[in-house]
Structure 1
Amino acid sequence: MSIESPFASLLAAIPVESDEVTVLGSTTRFWSYGSPDAPFTIVIAHGYRGEHHGIEPIIAQLPGIRFVSPDLPGFGESTPLTDVPHSVAGYAAWLTAFVDTLGLTGRAIILGHSFGTIVGANAVVDGLTTPAVIMVNPIATSGLRGPRKLATKVTVAYYELASKLPAKLGHRLLNSWFVVQFMSSSMTKTRERSLRRWIHNEHHTYFSRYANRDVVVEGFRASISTDVSAFAARITVPTLLVAAARDDITPVAAQFELERMMPNATLRVLADVGHLIHYEVPALAAEAITSFLDDLPQP
């Protein structure tokens, strides 16, 4: 059942074009929102098992900014990487090459969400030139040390089981309606029933859009292999951290520690929301981004 986005009317007012490029063996599909003449261009790295639709609620609030939003290789409409593995370093190399292929090196701001914050951090440390970084729901510490350690261990076992089963069975396990619903219900904090229904519909629609079982397992292993804190001290450009007070993946105390580790970071903590800032409170995220950009020099 299709449920219309509560942000559909705002998004419909923003021009969007789709295209594709080949980067490190991946045919990468991407979507460009807004005017090419906008004062700022932001390139997005979305979260694990997400794709470009996920950040659209934030994009909808910011019509004056140009966003370039690719599906990460192996997810959505982008094919897997062939020249590098689906590791954090591999995705970071892909992001750097993607930005360079579009001629945006040194001009585009990098925005990561969740797993995308790790990818973006690694890319910047490895040489991706950018005027600034934005992290929404940054993974400030390993999920294995987060507030729900038992749930994380169960999730690790779930992906390892999926990797060992025959491919068809593994795929069915990963796509289980009940597993996706449990994940969505546990992360959604809003009590607004219509918004909850839409969020669950988004997860059921897009959470299982990946190329194959191996890619999604490799991506999961990458997502728990490191975190932003491993790169924080070497990210010297202005950085905005948009964190959530009720995030079940990263405790808010770790976000304050991450801010202290980064030479040029500003932390905004949003109350009454968890790991789905982009779905539940995109207007608040957009306000934080606007304030951050207002303090940057015009490119």
Structure 2
Amino acid sequence: MSLACRIQGPVDAPAVVLLHAIATHGAIWQAQAAVWSRRLRVACIDLPGHGDSADPDGPLTLADYARQVADTMDAHGIADAALVGLSLGGMVAQAFALDHPASTRALVLAHTSARTDAAVRELWSARLAQAEADGLAAQVAPTLARWFTRGFAAASPLTLQGVAAQIRRTSLPGYAAAVGAIQALDHLERLPSLRVPTLVVAGARDSAVPPAVARQLAEAIPDARLLVLPDAAHLGPVEQPVVFTESVGAFLLEVMASGISRA
């Protein structure tokens, strides 16, 4: 299935596919896409049941998400790309690189993990039960509290309102499928097989995916680099947009330099 996708940037430039967190959509990347698309072909994909993409027919595995991302790339003539994934999007990016290595030029895995333990699975079950009982609106306040530092939240009410609107827009089937995929995440033992340039990004104040978890992810991938954002919680691209855009952008330009010079 082809997913909703917004593309900007030079047609002949190397492609970068951006994959969002649960209960958001491709617009979460607007700060990065505006800058990176000057030199890269940037594709912002909405995962199933998020943004403008149709609801899933039922449960999905991370491999299913990766397959739909591959179908969407094919539909837009993108043979290979660097994948930048945020939280759930980072899990999908891992699955894509593992299952579609020939189409993966580089990885950026931001605020994400490679395995979901039992305690976290129980947390997601409780969140899904609340969403099923009270709707996605009931997830807004606790989600924003996890995703942002208190200082940023207090200083950025309009930004948080925009993220809240994305959470409310997410369909219940889309949210449920994403929760199931997150609960089943277990890539850790397969990651040493990856042979692409990789940058792992963590937030120093991220309670959802602490830096120690990100370090474990980086250590599992050969030659991966680790970047810790000092004043960010779980959504670094939103809370630290300039640092994230510049640091990740520099990595992308470095690893895709040959394609950029040709373009």
Using the size of structure 2 for normalisation, the TM-score is 0.87
Deviation, 1:252, is: 0.8
CA shift, 1:193, in A, is 5.9
Aligned with residue 118 of structure 1, among 91, 114, 126: 91
| Alignment correspondent of 2:23 | 49
Percent of residue pairs bearing the same amino acid type: 23
SS of the residue 1:288 aligns to = helix
Q: Which residue of 2 aligns with 1:209?
A: 169
Kindly provide the amino acid, as one letter, of the partner of residue 11 in structure 2: P
After TM superposition, what 4+ stretches of structure 1 lie above 6 angstroms from structure 2? none
Count of residue correspondences: 256
Q: Which amino acid aligns with 1:74?
A: G
Alignment of 1:76-87 (within 5 A): 76-82=51-57, 85-87=59-61
* 1:176 aligns with one of 112, 118, 137: 137
Whole-angstrom distance in 2 between the partners of 1:98 and 1:264: 29
Does structure 1 residue 266 correspond to structure 2 residue 225? yes
The within-5 A match list for 1:1-299 is 23=1, 28-38=3-13, 40-62=14-36, 63-82=38-57, 85-106=59-80, 108-128=81-101, 129-142=103-116, 144=118, 153-160=122-129, 162-163=131-132, 170=133, 173-177=134-138, 179-189=139-149, 191-192=151-152, 195-211=155-171, 213-296=172-255, 297-299=257-259
Contact conserved, 1:141 with 1:250, CA < 8 A, in 2?
no
Residues 223-245 of structure 1 deviation map (CA, whole Å, 9 limit, x = unaligned) = 22215535421221111111111
Q: Given the two structures, how large is their TM-score scaled by the length of structure 1? A: 0.77
Structure 2: tracts of 5 or more residues without a match: none
**Shift, 1:115, TM fit:** 0.5
1:258–1:34 CA distance, 2 compared to 1 (3 A) = same
Aligned to 1:7: none
Equivalent residue for 1:8?
none
> Deviation at 1:76?
1.0
- What is the alpha-carbon root mean square deviation over aligned residues? 2.4
Any idea what the Cα deviations from partners look like across 1:165-222, whole Å, max 9, x if unmatched?
xxxxx3xx13235x312221232116246753123202221112234x3332122121
Which blocks of at least 5 consecutive residues in structure 1 are unaligned? 1-22, 164-169
Shift of 1:158: 3.3
Radius of gyration: which is bigger? Answer: 1
